[in-house]
Amino acid sequence: EPCSHYGKTPPCADMIIEHGIPRVVVGTADPFAKVSGRGIARMKAAGIEVVTGVLEDECRALNLRFMTAHEKQRPFITLKWAQSRDGFIDGKISTPLTSMLVHKLRATHDAILVGSGTVLADNPSLSTRLYAGKSPVKVVLDRRRRVGPEAGIFKGDIPVIMMSDYGSLGDAMSELYRKGITSALVEGGAQVLESFMKEDLWDEIRVEISPECINGRVKAPDLIRLPFVIDSETVDGHRIITYRN
């Protein structure tokens, strides 16, 4: 739907009216509150023929993250982890190529989210240094305020959002939406991932499975509960599966 408000650009609906375009075909309405049918109404009021609902499902799929964020008032949430064949999480499982693909995935999200335990244990930079893409905003769930200013996440000029005062994960995600975050990649640790799954607060899950068995200490979340596979590929002998909620 052509927009009807001033954001990063002027209203598209006004330009269509100004140039006398007689007929407009709209695939789907815009769920964003500042638009949400107003663009369509403005064009109709100006005497333009407006056809709506054309290939609507396909249009929604093309803009899935945008639609999800504005309809649910929270970011589109992707959970991501790498595990061994025997079901243990380990940050060193990925190959150089699959690590690059993770950084590519990061670049497609507005934010990357971890728990304070991951920051304290691994001191990650949470960047896209392995891929030529924009680094997402860094988000840390830190109820107990354990992360100090010396942490690696604070190095560089990428913004960091520390979340301590929130009631539930849903509240935290709503706050991120209010801050303009429309997609978030949740990288863990295991307890954080399980919490998102327990609250059914996810849209996609991406799991990398190594062919190796490591008999590790941290069990990966249960994949048996995830029946909706939308993609599966093998890279460097590792299987990468994507599930949709």
Q: Are residues 85 and 124 both part of a single domain?
A: yes
Whether 156 is covered by a domain: the verdict is yes
Same domain, yes or no: 136 and 33: no
pLDDT at 243 over 80: yes
For residue 25, give its domain range. Answer: 12-62
Q: Which two tokens stand for residue 155?
A: 């190095």
Question: Is residue 59's pLDDT more than 80?
Answer: yes
The pLDDT score that the predictor gives to residue 79 is 97
Per-residue confidence (pLDDT) for residue 114, from 0 to 100: 97
Q: Are residues 183 and 218 in the same domain?
A: yes
pLDDT in tens, 163-187: 999 999 999 999 999 999 999 999 9
Give the pLDDT confidence score for residue 22 in this predicted structure: 97
> What percent of the chain clears pLDDT 90, i.e. is strictly above it?
77
Tell whether 230 and 145 lie within a shared domain.
yes
Kindly report the CATH number assigned to the domain that includes residue 211.
3.40.430.10
In the predicted model, what is the mean pLDDT of residues 186-196?
Answer: 93
Average the pLDDT over 78-99 and give the result.
93
- Say yes or no to pLDDT of 227 above 80: no
pLDDT at residue 37 tops 90: no
155 within domain boundaries: yes
Q: Give a yes or no: residue 104 inside a domain.
A: yes
Shared-domain flag, residues 41 and 111? no
Q: Is the pLDDT of residue 115 over 90?
A: yes
For residue 143, is pLDDT > 90? yes
Compute the C-alpha angle 235/237/240, nearest 5°.
50
Q: Confirm if 2 and 36 have CB atoms less than 8 A apart.
A: no
Question: 162 lies in a domain?
Answer: yes
36 vs 48: which has the higher pLDDT: 48
Nearest to 241 by CA among 231, 149, 38: 231
Q: What is the mean pLDDT of the chain?
A: 92
Distances (CA, A) of 203 to 41, 43, 68, 104, 183: 31, 34, 9, 18, 10
Q: Which of 83, 104, 93, 67 is nearest to 185 (CA)?
A: 104
- Other C-beta atoms within 10 Å of 168: how many? 11
Asked if 227 and 107 sit in the same domain, the reply is yes
Answer whether residue 143 is part of any domain: yes
Going edge to edge, which strands form the sheet with 160-163?
Answer: 160-163, 137-141, 111-115, 183-188, 76-83, 204-209, 238-244, 229-235
pLDDT at 3: 84
184 assigned to some structural domain: yes
Reference 196, options 207, 185, 208; nearest CA is 185
Domains in the chain, number: 2
